[in-house]
Amino acid sequence: MKKASRFVFPPKFLWGVSTSAYQVEGAANEEGRGLSIWDIRCRTKGGVTDGSTGDVSADHYHRYGEDIGLMHQIGIQAYRFSVAWPRLLPRGRGQVNQPGIDFYDRLIDALLEKGIQPWLTLYHWDLPQSLDDLGGWTNRDCAGWYADFAALVARRYGDRVKHFATFNEFSVFTLFGYAIPWAAPGVTDRASHLKAIHHVNLAHGAGVDVLRSLVPGASIGAIHNHQKVLPEHGRDENREAAALLDEHWNRAFPDPQILGVYSPRLAQDIEPYLQAGDMARICRPIDWFGLNHYGPIFARVDPQFVWGYGWGDSPPGAADHGVGWPVFPEVFRDELVTIGQRYKLPIYVTENGCGGGFDAPNAAGQVLDEHRINYLTVFIDAMGQAMQAGVDVRGYFVWSLLDNFEWGSGYTQRFGLIHVDFDTQKRTLKKSAGWYAAKIKDSQ
Ligand code: FCB
């Protein structure tokens, strides 16, 4: 593609930020919240690099008012957050926890008061531990428990929230939770992985139906981490590994959910768990495709993992994102084109952003995160190029509003536009926050 002239974003284009409950809320042991699989993961040896937990994190549970004030100051138009299932239903089903319900009421009202659209993700990886004790996503009943949770959320918040995502990054939590042991619950087994894929797909379909029937005017999507998978060093021996990882990572969820089919190898593997009528239950009409993207994956043969594939090295000399992830904005542009053509839905980029443990205030108290500004600049330009090529992208959410608990990396990575001093909870707008504010203003 030839280099495009500077793209002007349409005035209706939506500029947002994303967070998730376990990563920012803290208050893990307060006001009746139940345990999630991540509370347990954090207490498992080797579960998190720095041995940390989300117990306090950025304390958003108590400081959401200040955080919304800062969002408003930046000019952010939409806030994507997730609701913690174990805060609403401490045991995953049954008894409702009123203080948890009230917390999201306050959060939503405070957003609306500042004119910020609430975008609610139902599930961002924090399955109630009580449900995991019953098999979690490997248990087909989990789809029904999820639908009941979705109904509670829809009934309680659907009068004010209109944008819902059923799940965040299906492929990441199923693959790393049930096949490669990088996330909760840390199972490593092919059959568990396949069951989890199928049951999560069923839960998605059930969630869409619930939201559609209970929330008039709902705009419903699902969020996929879609990343091009390439064989490490372009070597033939890695091609098969890359193809299988591509099916698990990129196709296992949007294909059945939007096109009504599993890709060939998955169709074979999932057959034992498929019941009559399942595909119709999974493939329900949705309104948008949520894309989370950070960079391509280089795959290689790796017998230490159950599927025989693993993460390989980036090409020598590839720019590094600060987390060890390679920076290829042109791959992002091409992914947008591919997704637009394949799934034919409006796209929201629901996550994109840049980590880097080295963000720290200087002597003058400023956080000069030029690396993040450079990253966001080239990725937003790449998105503009895709739009110029005809892709229907409607909005962009930076990951993340705040520095927070970065799953297995604990607090060693900082993705925020806002620096958080985790000892004092002091917030400092990084230079990138000012840059994003100008970008938003510029495109209005
Ligand atoms: C995504 C997750 C998000 C955050 C970013 C850096 O895969 O959805 O919670 O961890 O990566």
Distance between Cα 414 and ligand 1 center (Å): 11
Domain span at 330: 14-443
* Rounded Cα gap, residues 79 and 441, in angstroms: 17
Q: Which atom of ligand 1 is nearest to the CA of 355?
A: 6
Residue 168 within a domain: yes
- Examine the residue annotation and report whether 25 is marked as an active-site residue of this protein: no
**Residues making up the chain, counted from first to last:** 444
CA distances from 335 to 57, 205, 392 (A): 33, 24, 13
Q: Whole-angstrom Cα distance, residue 309 to residue 324?
A: 19
Q: Taking a C-beta distance cutoff of 8 angstroms, is the pair 39, 130 a contact?
A: no
CA torsion through residues 43, 47, 50, 54, sign: negative
Question: Which residues are within 8 A (CB) of 370 and not within 5 positions of it... i.e. 6 or more apart?
Answer: 431
Cα angle 7, 10, 11; round to 5: 135
Token reading at 197: 């894929």
Residue 34 confidence (pLDDT): 98
pLDDT (0 to 100) of residue 3: 52
Any domain includes 239: yes
Rounded CA separation 287/139 (Å): 28
Per-residue pLDDT of the chain (444 residues; tens, 9 = 90+): 445 467 899 999 999 999 999 999 999 999 999 999 999 999 999 999 999 999 999 999 999 999 999 999 999 999 999 999 999 999 999 999 999 999 999 999 999 999 999 999 999 999 999 999 999 999 999 999 999 999 999 999 999 999 999 999 999 999 999 999 999 999 999 999 999 999 999 999 999 999 999 999 999 999 999 999 999 999 999 999 999 999 999 999 999 999 999 999 999 999 999 999 999 999 999 999 999 999 999 999 999 999 999 999 999 888 776 777 788 999 999 999 999 999 999 999 999 999 987 899 999 999 999 999 999 999 999 999 999 999 999 999 999 999 999 999 999 999 999 999 999 999 999 999 999 999 999 988
Predicted pLDDT of residue 198: 99
Residue nearest to atom 5 of ligand 1 (CA): 399
What atom in ligand 1 is closest to the CA of residue 168?
8
Q: What is the pTM of this model?
A: 0.97
pLDDT of residue 318: 82
Q: Is residue 223 part of a domain?
A: yes
Active-site residue, 169 included? yes
Residue 5 forms part of a structural domain: no
Phi-psi region of 350 (alpha: psi -120 to 50; beta: other; left: phi over 0): alpha
CATH assignment at residue 125: 3.20.20.80
- pLDDT given for residue 283 in this prediction: 98
Mention every residue, 6+ apart, whose C-beta is less than 8 A from residue 371: 322, 354, 356
Instruction: Pick the closest to residue 70 from 117, 132, 3, 17 (CA basis).
Output: 17
Q: How many domains does the chain have?
A: 1
The catalytic residue among 25, 232, 335, 351 is 351
In a domain, 98, yes or no: yes
- Residue 355 in any domain: the answer is yes
CA 335 – ligand 1 centroid, Å: 18
Residues with CB under 6 A from ligand 1: 20, 23, 168-169, 172, 225, 292, 351, 399, 406-407, 415
Structural domain contains residue 273: yes
| Exposure letters 411-440 (e unless 16+ CB within 10 A, then b) | bebbbbbbbbebeebebbbbbbbebbbebb
Whether the CB-CB separation of 188 and 135 falls below 8 Å is answered with no
d(CA 379, CA 341): 20
Q: Which ligand 1 atom lies nearest to the CA of residue 223?
A: 8
Asked, for residue 430, whether it belongs to a domain, the answer is: yes
The residue annotated as part of the active site, out of 169, 232, 247, 335, is 169
